[in-house]
Amino acid sequence: MESKDRARSVLIFGGAGFIGSNWAHRLLKTTGAAIHIYDNLSRPGVRNNLEGLREAAGKSGRLKVTVADVRDAARVERAVRQATEIYHLAAQVAVTNSVTNPRYDFEVNLMGTFNVLEAARRAGRRPFVLFTSTNKVYGNLETRARVARGKRWEFVAGEGVDERQPLDLHSPYGCSKGAADQYVHDYGRMYEIPTVVFRMSCVAGPRQFGNEDQGWVAHFLYSALAGAPVIVYGDGRQLRDVLYVDDLLRAFEAVRDNLHRTRGQIYNVGGGAENTISLLELMEQVERLTGKPLEYAFDDRRPGDQLVYVTDTSKLQRDTGWKAHVNPALTLARIYDWWKHNRELFPVAAPRRAEVVPWPHMLPRPA
């Protein structure tokens, strides 16, 4: 371990969550940094993630945990005082929840981010701040021509979305995350804090407790394993690029290691064109991998849903040399392997069949 790691004081907001716990575990295993987890522990499964981190830290004294909400400005300020680097991953993550409770979404995603930035400014240490935003800031991309080919939608031009795509904040969630990432970007300019914004596509991997609103790759897999049906909103040909969580963690490292080029920048981060998959294609992979049928029903496409989102990661590659390595099939297999070793974390659901919702444009079940 490099001696310089001992001067690293890493604060992770949302550190018990899916991405945060993976990042903290990697830091505990590969560096000598002190790790401070700040999390309100509100999401299902995160307490188990936290116990795993405590086991990984052992008696090293390198792990500190604060159970608090990012909306608590005073607690945030105390947590930030000694940090040399901050990873702000705490968020309300579901578009649907933002529609039903926009105030909560605003308070967590925008005011919470403002609290983190103000604490970093007032600390006077100019810590590195990485903020995870979302591809949802680009809206439903209606200006991009699309075409249906087989079991997937694709962009007619075949090009992914880069950082020049205009913002189109199409939901309360998009508004809160988009406004937050602009605050992060501007604090970097105004107060000379080294900030980086990641606008991320679909991230998947172990320690993810997927559900209908977030973490769809894991959600489809767990549903098949539990014999529970899923609802497909739209025709199932929606296309996404999937980013394996360890590839994302390498991107964290890449921007920090190249801060002379990356500070103040915004990057679109995802699996890229080589790692795309549609809902229908994923369902087929789930059934092949598990040997279990995945029951599903169709319903109307949800407002603001992107028929196609594929990340153009060329800017991040140019500035850091980073590139995604793990494809969706291997990502799915690694989540399945993690599930096998953690079955006790998942409730046993009684198998039931889906009541198919009539939808005029639904495709036939894939053969």
Mean pLDDT of all residues in 154-159 = 91
Instruction: Tell me the per-residue pLDDT of 167-183, one tens digit each, with 9 for 90 and over.
Output: 998 889 999 999 999 99
Q: Quick one: pLDDT band at residue 161, thresholds 50, 70, 90?
A: very high
CATH classification at residue 191? 3.40.50.720
Cβ-contact 47, 16 below 8 angstroms: yes
Q: What is the pLDDT of residue 348?
A: 66
Is residue 360 domain-resident?
no
Residues 6 or more apart in contact with residue 67 via CB below 8 angstroms: 39, 40, 41
Is residue 165 domain-resident?
yes
Instruction: Tell me the per-residue pLDDT of 13-36, one tens digit each, with 9 for 90 and over.
Output: 999 999 999 999 999 999 999 999
Q: What is the pLDDT of residue 302?
A: 83
Is residue 24 domain-resident?
yes
Q: What is the pLDDT of residue 182?
A: 97
Q: What is the pLDDT of residue 365?
A: 43
- The lowest-confidence range among 3-17, 175-189, 317-331 is 3-17
Q: What size, in residues, is the chain?
A: 367
**Is the pLDDT assigned to residue 347 strictly greater than 80?**
no
Range of the domain at 104: 3-345
Beta-bridged to residue 265, according to DSSP, are 196
Mean pLDDT of all residues in 193-198 = 98
What tokens does 110 get?
């925008």
**Is the pLDDT assigned to residue 10 strictly greater than 90?**
yes
pLDDT exceeding 90 applies to what percent of the chain? 82
Beta-bridged to residue 243, according to DSSP, are 203
Q: What's the gap between Cα 135 and its chain centre?
A: 10
CA–CA gap between residue 323 and residue 329 (Å, rounded): 17
Q: What is the pLDDT of residue 49?
A: 93
pTM listed for this prediction? 0.92
Instruction: Tell me the per-residue pLDDT of 217-257, one tens digit each, with 9 for 90 and over.
Output: 999 999 999 999 999 999 999 999 999 999 999 999 999 99
Is residue 341 domain-resident?
yes
Q: Quick one: pLDDT band at residue 81, thresholds 50, 70, 90?
A: very high
Q: Quick one: pLDDT band at residue 349, thresholds 50, 70, 90?
A: low
Q: Quick one: pLDDT band at residue 323, thresholds 50, 70, 90?
A: very high
Is residue 238 domain-resident?
yes
CA–CA gap between residue 64 and residue 19 (Å, rounded): 17
Give the pairing type, strands 146-149 and 34-39: unpaired
Cβ-contact 200, 270 below 8 angstroms: yes
**Is the pLDDT assigned to residue 363 strictly greater than 60?**
no
**Is the pLDDT assigned to residue 282 strictly greater than 90?**
yes
Is residue 365 domain-resident?
no
Residue 87 appears among annotated catalytic residues: no
Q: Quick one: pLDDT band at residue 367, thresholds 50, 70, 90?
A: very low
Is residue 105 domain-resident?
yes
Q: What is the pLDDT of residue 47?
A: 92
Show the CA angle centred on residue 42, arms to residues 41 and 46, nearest 5°.
Answer: 50
Catalytic residue among 38, 173, 187, 267: 173
Mean pLDDT of all residues in 58-86 = 97
- How many domains are there within the chain? 1
Q: What is the pLDDT of residue 198?
A: 98
Is residue 118 domain-resident?
yes
